[in-house]
Amino acid sequence: MSKRALIVMSSHAELGLSGKRTGTWFEEAATPYYTFKDAGIEVLFASLKGGEAPIDLLSLQAPFTTANTEKFLNDPVAMKALRETNVLSTLDTDDFDALFFPGGYGLLWDLANDSYTIRLIERFYRSEKPIAMVCHAPAILRDAKKPNGEPFAKGLTVTGFMNAEDDELDLSRYLLFSLEDMLKHRGANYKGTSRNWAPHIERDGVLMTGQNPASAPLLAAALKSYLLEQQA
């Protein structure tokens, strides 16, 4: 039986009071999609509301586009899947072997506050199923708990979008909370790079995290390898 990966995306499209549009960062959905499919891993998209998942418009523009984002835009099957994402709560998530959460600012307003998503992560962790989160996606760990009731992130080595990267985009003032500060406050061993936008991933048990969009290919490859090793 082939492995199955569920890519969970935000349904939120507004960046606080900034007037800017947001959503999921396109590269962080497109590259995992092809990384998994090319390896024979079945991929399904889901979001909280279902239907079309909003994409951050900035991620559709150069220099943020990639070969995979261009391929995705010209792939009718992939685009249909993005326009018709499944409602997360209606899926039998026990049928999936891994969770992948792309980043983007939208999830700070929906996935990070959604009890179903938080319980899903906790359940996968208890079952020792891999969870991969890139860019701002580790924000969803804010209210998650370990089986012993401690903060999920406590004692785990993680990464995610740095304060310095938010500051460089001049968007920190619009965010509900700082991802980096939150993870440190929850007791995580947070690791970032000395240079903004440098690719960087961390793995601690079944939790895999990537720092920024440039980290998405590395994170997707790490999750792919993990699943294929389990399948062997």
What token pair was written down for 34? Answer: 């092809």
Joined together, the tokens standing for residue 227 give 């699943």
Delineate the domains of the chain, giving CATH numbers in brackets. 4-231 (3.40.50.880)
Q: How many CB atoms lie within 10 A of CB 181?
A: 11
Using an 8 Å Cβ cutoff, are 148 and 215 in contact?
Answer: no
55, pLDDT greater than 90:
yes
pLDDT at residue 225 tops 90? yes
What is the distance between the alpha carbons of residues 183 and 194, in angstroms, rounded to a whole number? Answer: 18
Residue 230 has pLDDT above 90, yes or no: no
Mean pLDDT along residues 13-37: 93
pLDDT band at 17 (very low <50, low <70, confident <90, very high): confident
At 222, the pLDDT band (50, 70, 90 cuts) reads very high
Q: Write the pLDDT tens digit of every residue in 83-121.
A: 999 999 999 999 999 999 999 999 999 999 999 999 999
Instruction: List, in sequence order, every residue forming a beta bridge with 46; answer none if it has no partner.
Output: 8, 86
The pTM of the whole model exceeds 0.95: yes
ω into residue 63 within 30 of 0, thus cis?
yes
H/E stretch holding 30 reads helix 27-38
For residue range 184-218, list pLDDT tens digits in order. Answer: 999 999 999 999 999 999 999 999 999 999 999 99
Contacts for 56 with CB less than 8 Å, ≥ 6 apart: 21, 22, 23, 24, 25, 26, 104, 105, 106
Q: Is the pLDDT of residue 232 over 80?
A: no
Give the pLDDT confidence of 56-82 residue by residue, as tens digits: 999 999 999 999 999 999 999 999 999
* pLDDT of the residue at 152: 98
**And the tokens for 87?**
């409602």
23 phi and psi angles, rounded to 5 deg: 150, -140
Residues 116-126 pLDDT 10s: 999 999 999 99
Whole-number Å distance between alpha carbons of 204 and 227: 15
Instruction: Give backbone dihedrals phi and psi of 132, rounded to 5 degrees, phi first.
Output: -115, 135
